[in-house]
Structure 1
Amino acid sequence: MTAADAFAGAQRAAGVIAAKHRGDLAGAQELLADFPDEQARTRAFELLAQLALSILRAQTGQTMDELVKELSLHIAAASSD
């Protein structure tokens, strides 16, 4: 997988999230189906998460460990609802 492929996948993953957020579930499913396989999908969402956390780190000044800890707490709280 080339770097261009990885970033195109991350962009597609962002599109999936945006489509879901606006209620376009069919569009999200279509974008998910465009991934060649599960491994490519996983790598795309991993890269998207890394990029999003890097942006947040740059804006907040928090360390990556602090951000991941905070995110983990939010995930735990959301899963207990």
Structure 2
Amino acid sequence: MQVTLLKSKWCPTCPEAERVWEEVARQRPIEYQALDVADRAGRTLISNLRIKSVPALLVDGKLKWVGVHSLGEALKLVDEGA
């Protein structure tokens, strides 16, 4: 499972989302990356998927969530195979 968190330096909730998903990546066998929307790869994804808000979560290239998961919600999402 590939999990990508799209974030921004100016986003007040993105650091919490990043902490949650870093912990999930420690506890579960997922491929995790965080991309800043100011960087080329992040800009490309938000443009292609027409994402207007961060933090945004992609699972296997598909938008699954906008906002911050609790650790429990994130683990459940991964355990259920998204």
TM-score using structure 2 length? 0.30
Q: Greater CA radius of gyration, 1 or 2?
A: 1
Higher share of residues assigned helix: 1
TM-score using structure 1 length? 0.30
